[in-house]
Chains A and B, each alone.
Chain A
Amino acid sequence: MPAFILRRLLQSVLVMLTVALVAFGLFRYIGDPVNNMVGQEATMAEREALRESLGLNDAVPLQFLRFVANAAQGEFGVSYRMARPVADVIAERLPATLELALISGFGALALGIALGVYTALRRDGWLSHAIMGLSLVGVSLPTFLIGILLIYVFAVELKVLPAFGRGEVVDLGWWTTGLLTPSGLKSLVMPAITLGLYQLTLIMRLVRAEMLEVLRTDYIKFARARGLSDRAVHFGHALRNTLLPVITITGLQIGSIIAFAIITETVFQWPGVGLLFITAVQFVDIPVMAAYLVLIALIFVVINLIVDLLYFVVDPRLRVQRSGRGQ
């Protein structure tokens, strides 16, 4: 067990270092950082002074080490486009993205499990068939198209929900939240649906498949034979054993929700880090791109780690398998 944790930790550090290397490569070799920071009329001497003060004349491995050390302290330099520290800009934008991602993630999880269980239990009902058919459409419908359709129906035609922005937000000092004002909540509805729909279909199909598999097992038959109520069998026995893989997939999906938020945030002009990143890509604002990359990688790695550990703790069978595999 400790060996397993240690190996996972080591792997995570390795992934982070790889990502940091990519981010560093971006910063160092895409365009000239000095040119991007000074104005057109800067003299050679000024450029050289900046170059020296940024440490760009040092050996490359040393520069990389400094980059990693700075990144570990959340220091990513100054945005080329906005001339503000990247860390500040991201800290300002992060609450919007996290609120959106968490709300749509949990919504998708709750609804996905409910629908998955329903379609598995009423396997041949017409409603189940309809839901399954719709879910395939959901998988094929690109995120941005869902958003546009929602905007057209609810903002343009029915005029009940705002088409863009975050509404009024309450500033809590270190966090801005849109969850406390009516306009903030209203603004959240469509982006959350847009972002969560794909995860919803994924979780639903997974729960259904797992549930169908579990319902075939002997211990379920045994539970039925003992005369337990359907309710106890379905929810006490079957669903519980279904949830293990669901935890994993959901955990991994939280990371991709944050990445997919790029699209949703663009459609709804949601002022989060995704919108920041896409603007950075368009304007080749390398420090912002590098910082976003490292941030996302960190979120991914931490979630992966937590999920792995959680899975490992929850399922005793894995402990035997993992130590036996010896990879």
Chain B
Amino acid sequence: MRTEPPTSAPAAAPPVPRGALARLLDGDLFHSFIRSPITVLSALVVLAILVAALLAPVIAPQNPFDPATLNLMDGFTRPMQANEFTGNVYWLGTDAQGRDLFSAILYGSRVSILVGFAAVAFAAVLGITLGLVAGYRGGWVDSLIMRVADVQLSFPAILVALLIFGVFKGVVPPALHDKAAIYVLILAIGLSDWVQYARTVRSSTLAERNKEYVQAARVIGVPAPTILLRHILPNVMGPVLVIATIGLALAIILESTLSFLGVGVPPTQPSLGTLIRVGQDYLFSGEWWIVLFPGLTLLLLALSVNLLGDWLRDALNPRLRR
């Protein structure tokens, strides 16, 4: 998918040296960030959700998954209205068990974000490693890795993730399902998304491999892993950052989708997707807030991360700086 450069892209940027990590701290990038109000806004939203999720135990009015703190009389309290029995007021209302939705969303975002970050990290490490090796070694290693990538790329991520989940359910004894579910989720999402990284890193590595600094390193006898990690890796990180940012939005959406389909995290440790799945049942009886607020949080999070990714892609793309 291509997008147009943001209107706020810096008008005349000096030629910037390659090496995206160095460039990240460059004033240039910061400048384009500050000049795009939408980007700043999305960064603030992401930051706010991150902090809120991280500090959930401190901020949340109740621990929504400790049955002792729940009062069944509080069930189905409408948002911002006093409960007819207890008189308690909840900002975003409560669900069937009288669970404060605001607290549930805080804890839910925590799971969603954790899984999202872990899955992206896993996919990135796997993809970058395979991409570096494929690009540097070439030959049959390269062919093998890239053919596998091709085959996998012809299937949508959701299908791959579902399949991995199905295998997990068949292999792991049922008693361990709930405990292991979150790790399997991370594994499934990560494994469904490594191809992008591998392809990008491979093509950049192919370009870097024959440059003089790599040849020089090879001549003085630096071992291949060191060359890859110390010399080539920093120079191929630019596009990876962009993919990882957009990948984070995709991973969060995929996680919530899997949880919504009932194959994600167990209900005892709900993510935003699980909350939406549970809330969907109450939609027909008019309790719209149970599904709406987790849904909005998810949308806000995914949209903001997507906007950040779009901006980063344009800002790191020298071709758009004309």
A140 near B155 (CB under 8 angstroms)? no
Report the minimum CB–CB distance from A202 to chain B (whole Å): 7
A145 near B159 (CB under 8 angstroms)? no
* Residues 163-203 of chain B, each 1 if its beta carbon lies under 8 Å from chain A, else 0: 10111011100000000000000000000000000000000
* Alpha-carbon distance A33/B271, docked complex (angstroms): 34
* Residues 141-176 of chain B, each 1 if its beta carbon lies under 8 Å from chain A, else 0: 000000000010011101100110111011100000
* Residues 171-207 of chain A, each 1 if its beta carbon lies under 8 Å from chain B, else 0: 0000000000000000000000000000000100110
- Given known pairs A148-B291, A278-B261, A293-B163, the reply for A260 and B169 (CB within 8 Å) is no
Q: Is B320 an interface residue (CB 8 A)?
A: no
* Residues 274-318 of chain A, each 1 if its beta carbon lies under 8 Å from chain B, else 0: 000110111010100100010011001100100000000000000
B283 near A156 (CB under 8 angstroms)? yes
- Given known pairs A142-B256, A259-B158, A284-B170, the reply for A148 and B280 (CB within 8 Å) is yes
* Residues 136-153 of chain A, each 1 if its beta carbon lies under 8 Å from chain B, else 0: 110111111100110110
* Contact of B162 (CB < 8 Å), options: A136, A141, A262: A262
- Given known pairs A31-B170, A282-B262, the reply for A277 and B162 (CB within 8 Å) is yes
Report the minimum CB–CB distance from B228 to chain A (whole Å): 25
**Chain A, Cβ-Cβ closest to B169:** A284
* Alpha-carbon distance A192/B8, docked complex (angstroms): 37
B3 near A140 (CB under 8 angstroms)? no
Which one of B82-90, B233-241, B296-304 contacts A?
B296-304
* Alpha-carbon distance A140/B249, docked complex (angstroms): 8
A136 near B303 (CB under 8 angstroms)? yes
Q: Is A209 an interface residue (CB 8 A)?
A: yes
**Chain A, Cβ-Cβ closest to B170:** A30
Chain A binding surface, main DSSP class: helix
* Alpha-carbon distance A267/B156, docked complex (angstroms): 19
* Alpha-carbon distance A163/B257, docked complex (angstroms): 19
Report the minimum CB–CB distance from B50 to chain A (whole Å): 17
Residues of A near B245 (CB, < 8 A) are: none
* Alpha-carbon distance A151/B292, docked complex (angstroms): 12
User: Which residue, of A151, A209, A259, A277, has the highest number of chain B Cβ atoms within 10 A?
Assistant: A259
Report the minimum CB–CB distance from B218 to chain A (whole Å): 27
A148 near B302 (CB under 8 angstroms)? no
Residues of B near A31 (CB, < 8 A) are: 170
Report the minimum CB–CB distance from B245 to chain A (whole Å): 13
Residues of A near B260 (CB, < 8 A) are: 142, 144, 263, 266
* Alpha-carbon distance A26/B2, docked complex (angstroms): 38
Residues of B near A13 (CB, < 8 A) are: none
**Chain A, Cβ-Cβ closest to B159:** A259
Q: Is B140 an interface residue (CB 8 A)?
A: no
Q: Is B307 an interface residue (CB 8 A)?
A: yes
**B: number of interface residues (CB 8 Å):** 42
* Alpha-carbon distance A56/B162, docked complex (angstroms): 27
- Given known pairs A136-B307, A137-B303, A145-B298, the reply for A263 and B261 (CB within 8 Å) is yes
A205 near B261 (CB under 8 angstroms)? no
Report the minimum CB–CB distance from B256 to chain A (whole Å): 6
- Given known pairs A136-B307, A152-B283, A278-B263, the reply for A262 and B158 (CB within 8 Å) is yes
Q: Is A247 an interface residue (CB 8 A)?
A: no
* Alpha-carbon distance A90/B295, docked complex (angstroms): 33
Residues of B near A142 (CB, < 8 A) are: 253, 256-257, 260, 298-299, 302
* Alpha-carbon distance A156/B4, docked complex (angstroms): 39
Q: Is A18 an interface residue (CB 8 A)?
A: yes
Q: Is A15 an interface residue (CB 8 A)?
A: yes
Q: Is A248 an interface residue (CB 8 A)?
A: no
Q: Is A215 an interface residue (CB 8 A)?
A: no
- Given known pairs A136-B303, A139-B306, A140-B249, the reply for A286 and B170 (CB within 8 Å) is yes
A281 near B165 (CB under 8 angstroms)? yes
Q: Is A256 an interface residue (CB 8 A)?
A: yes
Q: Which 4 A-B pairs have the closest CB atoms?
A: A30-B170, A140-B303, A209-B2, A140-B302
Q: Which residues of B contact A (CB under 8 A)?
A: 1-4, 151, 154-156, 158-159, 162-163, 165-167, 169-171, 249, 253, 256-257, 260-263, 276, 280, 283-284, 286, 288, 291-292, 295, 298-299, 302-303, 306-307, 310
Beyond known contacts A30-B170, A259-B158, A259-B159: 14 more, CB 8 A cutoff: A30-B166, A137-B303, A142-B298, A142-B299, A142-B302, A148-B283, A149-B295, A152-B283, A156-B286, A163-B284, A206-B2, A260-B156, A262-B159, A281-B165
19 pairs, CB–CB < 8 Å, chain A vs chain B: A26-B167, A31-B170, A137-B299, A140-B302, A142-B253, A143-B257, A144-B256, A144-B257, A151-B283, A163-B284, A262-B162, A262-B261, A263-B158, A277-B162, A281-B162, A281-B163, A281-B165, A289-B166, A304-B154
